[in-house]
Amino acid sequence: MKVLALLCAGAALAAAQSLDIDFFEKKIRPVLAEQCAACHSAQLSDPMGGLRVDSREGLRTGGASGPALVEGKPSESLLLKALSYQDPSLKMPPTGKLPDAVLADFRTWIERGAADPRGEAPATAAKKQAGPGTPIEEGKHWWAFQPLQTHPAPPSSRPGWARTKMDAFVLARLEQNELEPSPEADRRTLVRRVYLDLTGLPPTYDEIEAFAADDSPDAYSALVERLLASPRYGERWGRHWLDVARWAEDHPTSEATNQPHPFAWRYRDWVVEAVNQDVPYDRFLRMQLAADLMPGFQPEDMRALGYIGNSPMYHKDPRLSRDVIETLASDDWDERVDALSRGLLGLTVACARCHDHKFDPITNKDYYGLAGVFASLWLVKRPIVEMDPAAADKLVWEHERLVRLKGMSGNLGELDTIAEELHPVVARMKEEVAELKERLDKDPTPLTHAVIDCGVYIDGSTPTVTFFDLRPGEPRDLPVFIRGNVANTGDIVPRRFLSVFADGEPEPFRQGTGRLELADKIVGPAGPLAARVWVNRVWGWHFGEHLVRTPSDFGTQGEKPTHPELLDDLAARFVANGWSLKWLHREILLSAAYRQSSHVTDAGQSADPTNRWLWRMNPRRLDFEAWRDSILEATGELDLTAGGPSAEADESPRRSVYAKVSRSRPNRVMQLFDFPDVTQHSPQRQVTTTPLQQLFVLNSAWMQARAEALSAAAGHDDEPQQKIRTLYRRTLGRNPQADEIDLALSFLAQRQRELGRPAWAEYAQVLLATNELTYFH
Amino acid sequence: MPVPSPSASSFLQPPRPLSRRRFVESLCGGFGAIGLAGMLAPQLAAAPTAGAAPIGPHFAPKAKQIIFLFLTGGPSHLDMFDPKPALLKHAGQRPDSANLRTERMTGGLLPSPFEFRQHGQSGAHVSELLPKLSGVVDELAIIRSMYTFNPTHTPARNLIHSGNIASTRPTLGAWVSYGLGSENQNLPGFVALSPSSRGGSLWRSGFLPAEHQGTHFDNSQTDPEQMIQYLRNERLDASAQREQLDLLQALNREHRADAGEDAYLDGRILAMETAYRMQFEALDVFDVRLEPEKVREEYGSTPFANGCLLARRLVERGVRYVHVYYGPGQPWDDHKEINSKLRERCPDMDQGAAALIADLKRRGLLDETLVVWGGEFGRTPVSEAGDGRDHNPYGFTMWMAGGGVKGGVNYGATDELGFQAVENRVSIHDLHATILNQLGFDHERLTYRYAGRDFRLTDVHGRVVREILA
């Protein structure tokens, strides 16, 4: 009896709930959607006032002004207050007061408990609460900060498809979405894909044919191994890292205090070598921040410090005030914090420069804890050979003194802008500059752009000139610059790592600058995140799309992974396998998912046009480097000399990784073909297709010269068909089809009639300009 | 090498070998059409040559083309078009009754130091900063009740360009190119003129096919060969180039047929055609120095002025959409020293924009050309850093002219402080709906199917502001 009563009560309750939900669906939800969601929805990265009305939770949590509704209490619910237009500062919607009947519905709905069946809004990446920042403890629950763990491979209805463990996760997703994987690509497609992917160079005709003919079971894995061992591999994958590191050889401008970096190439060479040697990724990162402080340091390792040593810097005219100079310096520190946090950790820490991060668990103090590391080091040239430490130190500081004196005396040299008592000082500076320059120009010690530990202070005690006061052995803890203003300082924050990775209050760094400790934190407590971010980047370079499609934002404003368990499992095993990039390549390249054909299927295209679930391989355009190198290889001009100083891309036959990269005068061809903006970290390459690019392909002297070289390299034209075949093999790695030969002969005959001589170069240019050459799939 | 005339030289080409033509036709019927269109002078080429046939207008359009004058950074409506005597009355005070909060710390009310007068038959209030635009107010529909949804530059710029805060959706120019196709096969349908190439994402095509992406030209240059690299082929004349390109495109089409559906491959085939045609038109079209001295004087000679003049030359030749940026950077972001900075920056903007209106009108082009003026948001009535103004997305001014918009209209109003739009409010989506309407599109029906659903420039919003239409 009792049981029955309970059941009845339960049923009545359920019925009432269903009525309430019905009321919500009919009366409330449409109004929220039509009148409010445009400004207050999780679809927006920054919903106004932090309020989201598109989920049950969003209304209850509310926004900057507090919860939008209190169940059962209309009079305490801000939502109703706003709708009723009573408060002059809170009238919603701003387009005009809603009809009284609608207000009455809202009142009724809230009185009856504000029934709301909606879950978290779809595609939501919005914050859990409004106001400044997510509290640290709550923020620790974010998926990207969780310890890495391996997952069992999901069971599959297609036994035998999976080749490496990651395939099981891909297949599970495909099956959930009722999609089928594509068959394996044909061997000629596959060999081109793997060559371009691993080395940035296409295979030659002979290499393609050899692979196509090799039916041994391990032909493919042997190919992968051979390419991973090729020096060309490090040139390709080192270049990928250089994008992350926003590497360049000068600064956005080049005035006296921020002259170009003549030895920046040494860092680039170190990166290429390190990638070729498969230096474990954790060590690779640590070396770039603190190679000189690590056990087993070799003088050549100093080159790794170019990651910070080649950072962009802004000119600081000594005539400017202390506050202005400090602002410029703090912009430099900000750039390092941004490049490091987005590049290595997928976190937008620079958002916390003026206030706590609005969406992620990063505090204003976290920012200054990190920025302090960069305020405790200085960009200098350092020797890369074994030297007496005192002599090395002297050399470093003499070089630095020369740069600074030159800058100072240059800017102060405009004597009428400075106080008269400084005139003799400037004269003495100029003398010293001349003396130093002569001596140092003769010094044969090879140098690289690195950092040295010293607190960076700004001396504004002289009214007309501002000096940098560099204090070796005295690292600088920064105060909070309130709202980013250097003239308005708050508490001093000890140099330290982000709180979200600490148990309780983060420990201050204690060893010198804290560079090595910072590096250890990144690969230690933040290691799971660093590994996820790196694995995701590598995935994107292999597949053309990332698992997390915002590769430099793993915070709440970024995208979530399409395959969370796959990313977690892959990152966990990457770390377990010694952070080995080559291990990661093997896992991905040997997979069935990677070997899929790129052909479009109707089912795939209609269900998943952006290929989130990987029902096929993504076809891709070659990036600038691979495209240019492909052309130079086809023409036989490619110079494979490794390393050394850079040359302009359109003036040198060397691989594109050795092209000059400038922040102040970006190479226009590289810009045209989507080389990233190196004044800041760039999350990924863009792919644009413009008529201006095609003008280069059709008209530039560079392309015409390549066409001449190609025609010459393809030999005599006694046998036109033979020459056409050679040209096809060199450019596209295959033999021409019969109709293609007909087209070629017809074109050549026509031009011969018009010109009175053969037009092989015009024809060769066509092959260099084909879509086929710019593309792989 | 003489500048080849595409019509003459290509018509005089000898007939091609039959086998080849047959081969080309067998590959793809559409290709022959493109090749042919390329040989015709623009006025003869009736059919646009976008990859897919353009949607075409839903109803008879009032405007055939658009020039959007964009003042990057957020120009101050309070110092140009929206006088507020209350600011002077309560200068320095901060009324408790109003919520004037924006991102940054602001102080008391900052009156505009610029004198406003009524102008034209419409009696529109315009400040002394804009003497030339004051002279053409009767052509303008001034909307003083604009509002947008985000107070930060990048998202707000995305909003006004694409209707969404993300940097991924197609921009207005791309939608127009998608809807209307290109009227002139020798030029891109969507052109962005900016002294900096860094704003690339503002002329993106997003998920629309790549051929609708805007093509950028540097309007700080006046020599087309400086402005457009590699414009001239030093070796081949037009007909030789055409033959070379026909061969290339035949190979590309065949490759495309094997590779299957692919936006990049299609986009590059079309970009190649546009590039070919551009080189003949561009030397002339992009050279503002070919304009009579009088006209150049009327516009002025700054990058923005040249941009305005170039925009006129481009729409005259059938470019559908020209976006002229006052840049580089975001010069109208006056967080401080607004009074002196506006005085420096307004004259050339005023002169260029007013000259454009007058010039279009004289040439009978204003009726069919919609000119839109504005920035990503306005500025606050309260001061920042003493004599600056912070970002204000809640209320600001834009104007439109020509293209079926009523001249001499003053529409909407902000509150008495000029902070919030209160009367006849016009959102960014409403602006987009109105622009599309003038081009003959129902903004609710101009859609593109992507990722499983139909997308619109106006998403689920937008109202055509009929009150300002002729």
Could you tell me if residue B155 is inside a domain? yes
Residue B47 has pLDDT above 70, yes or no: no
Quick one: CA torsion of B371, B373, B375, B376, rounded to 10 degrees?
-50
Tens digit of pLDDT for each residue in B51-66? 456 788 999 999 999 9
Contact of B19 with chain A, judged by CB distance below 8 Å, is answered with yes
Q: Are B144 and B81 in contact (CB under 8 A)?
A: yes
Could you tell me if residue B241 is inside a domain? yes
Could you tell me if residue B23 is inside a domain? yes
Q: Which two tokens stand for residue B420?
A: 């919030």
Tens digit of pLDDT for each residue in B74-88? 999 999 999 999 999
SS3 per residue for chain B:
CCCCCHHHHHHCCCCCCHHHHHHHHHHCHHHHHHHHHHHCCCCCCCCCCCCCCCCCCCCCCCCCEEEEEEECCCCCHHHCCCCCHHHHHCCCCCCCCCCCCCCCCCCCECCCCCCEEEECCCCEEEECCCHHHHCCHHHEEEEEEEECCCCCHHHHHHHHHHCCCCCCCCCHHHHHHHHHCCCCCCCCCEEEECCCHHHHHHHCCCCCCHHHCCEEECCCCCCHHHHCCCCCCCCCCHHHHHHHHHHHHHHHHHHHHHHCCCHHHHHHHHHHHHHHHHHHHHHHHCCHHHCCHHHHHHHCCCHHHHHHHHHHHHHHCCCCEEEEEECCCCCCCCCCCHHHHHHHHHHHHHHHHHHHHHHHHHCCCHHHEEEEEECCCEEEEEEECCCEEEEECCCEEEEEECCCECCCEEECEECCCCCCEEECCEEHHHHHHHHHHHCCCCCCCCEEEECCEEEECCCCCCCCCHHHEC
Contact of A701 with chain B, judged by CB distance below 8 Å, is answered with yes
Are residues A775 and B251, on separate chains, in Cβ contact within 8 Å?
A: no
Residues B136 and B280 in one domain: no
Confidence band of B4 (pLDDT split at 50, 70, 90): very low
Confidence band of B35 (pLDDT split at 50, 70, 90): very low
Domain boundary among B245, B269, B285: B285
Tens digit of pLDDT for each residue in A172-205? 999 999 999 999 999 999 999 999 999 999 999 9
A777 neighbourhood in chain B, CB within 8 Å: 259
Minimal CA separation from A496 to chain B, in Å: 28
Which residues of A, range 736-765, sit inside 8 Å of B by Cβ? 739-740, 742-744, 746-747, 749-751, 754, 762-763, 765
Among the listed residues A287, A334, A292, A299, the one whose alpha carbon sits nearest the alpha carbon of residue A447: A299
A688 neighbourhood in chain B, CB within 8 Å: 200, 210, 213
Could you tell me if residue B51 is inside a domain? no
Confidence band of B454 (pLDDT split at 50, 70, 90): confident
Confidence band of B451 (pLDDT split at 50, 70, 90): low
Residues B196 and B92 in one domain: yes
Tens digit of pLDDT for each residue in A492-515? 999 999 999 999 899 999 998 999
Could you tell me if residue B50 is inside a domain? no
B395 neighbourhood in chain A, CB within 8 Å: none
Q: Are B334 and B112 in contact (CB under 8 A)?
A: no
CA angle A85, A91, A92 (to 5 degrees): 110
Residues B158 and B281 in one domain: no
Q: Which residue has the higher pLDDT, A706 or B274?
A: A706
Residues B351 and B447 in one domain: yes
Tell me, what CATH number does B420's domain have? 3.40.720.10
d(CA A740, CA B255): 11
Residues B418 and B432 in one domain: yes
Residues B277 and B298 in one domain: no
Residues B307 and B412 in one domain: yes
Residues B89 and B202 in one domain: yes
Residues B237 and B381 in one domain: no
Q: Dihedrals φ, ψ of A234, to 5°?
A: -65, -30
pLDDT given for residue B5 in this prediction: 31
Could you tell me if residue B453 is inside a domain? yes
Which residues of A, range 461-500, sit inside 8 Å of B by Cβ? 483
Confidence band of B332 (pLDDT split at 50, 70, 90): very high
Contact of B28 with chain A, judged by CB distance below 8 Å, is answered with no
pLDDT given for residue A704 in this prediction: 97
Q: What's the structural domain count of chain B?
A: 2
Contact of B229 with chain A, judged by CB distance below 8 Å, is answered with yes
Could you tell me if residue B43 is inside a domain? no
How many Å from the N-terminal Cα to the C-terminal Cα in chain B?
49
- Residue A690's closest chain B neighbor by CA? B271
Amino acid type, A406? K
Are residues A672 and B200, on separate chains, in Cβ contact within 8 Å?
A: no
DSSP three-state, residue A496 = strand
Tens digit of pLDDT for each residue in B309-326? 999 999 999 999 999 999
Angle at which helix A760-769 crosses helix A624-634, to 10 degrees, equals: 150
Are residues B20 and A742, on separate chains, in Cβ contact within 8 Å?
A: yes
Residues B464 and B398 in one domain: yes
Those residues of chain A that have pLDDT short of 70 are: 1-17, 45-46, 95, 120-134, 413-419
**Residue range of the domain that includes B198:** 57-228+293-468
pLDDT given for residue A131 in this prediction: 39
Mean pLDDT, chain B, rounded, equals: 85
Instruction: State how beta strands B369-374 and B65-71 pair.
Output: parallel
Q: Which two tokens stand for residue A63?
A: 């926004």
SS3 per residue for A16-83:
HHHHHHHHHHHHHHHHHHHHHCCCCCCCCCCCHHHCCCCCHHHHHHCECCECCCCCCCHHHCHHHHHH
Are residues B240 and A672, on separate chains, in Cβ contact within 8 Å?
A: no
pLDDT given for residue B46 in this prediction: 28
Q: How many other β-carbons are positioned within 10 Å of the β-carbon of residue A156?
A: 16
Contact of B186 with chain A, judged by CB distance below 8 Å, is answered with no
pLDDT given for residue B207 in this prediction: 78
d(CA A452, CA B465): 62
Q: How many other β-carbons are positioned within 10 Å of the β-carbon of residue B18?
A: 9
Confidence band of B106 (pLDDT split at 50, 70, 90): confident
Are residues B278 and A621, on separate chains, in Cβ contact within 8 Å?
A: no
Q: Please tell me the number of Cα atoms within 13 Å of B452 on its side-chain side.
A: 7
Residues B417 and B362 in one domain: yes
Residues B298 and B277 in one domain: no
The reported pTM is: 0.72
Tens digit of pLDDT for each residue in A516-570? 999 999 999 999 999 999 999 999 999 999 999 889 989 887 889 999 999 999 9
pLDDT given for residue A722 in this prediction: 96
d(CA B287, CA B290): 6
pLDDT given for residue A183 in this prediction: 96
Which residues of B, range 355-384, sit inside 8 Å of A by Cβ? none
Could you tell me if residue B213 is inside a domain? yes
Domain boundary among B246, B267, B285: B285
Place of tokens 């407590």: A525
Are residues B265 and A775, on separate chains, in Cβ contact within 8 Å?
A: yes
C-alpha distances (whole Å) from B361 to each of A624, B379, B401 are 45, 31, 10
- Residue A674's closest chain B neighbor by CA? B200
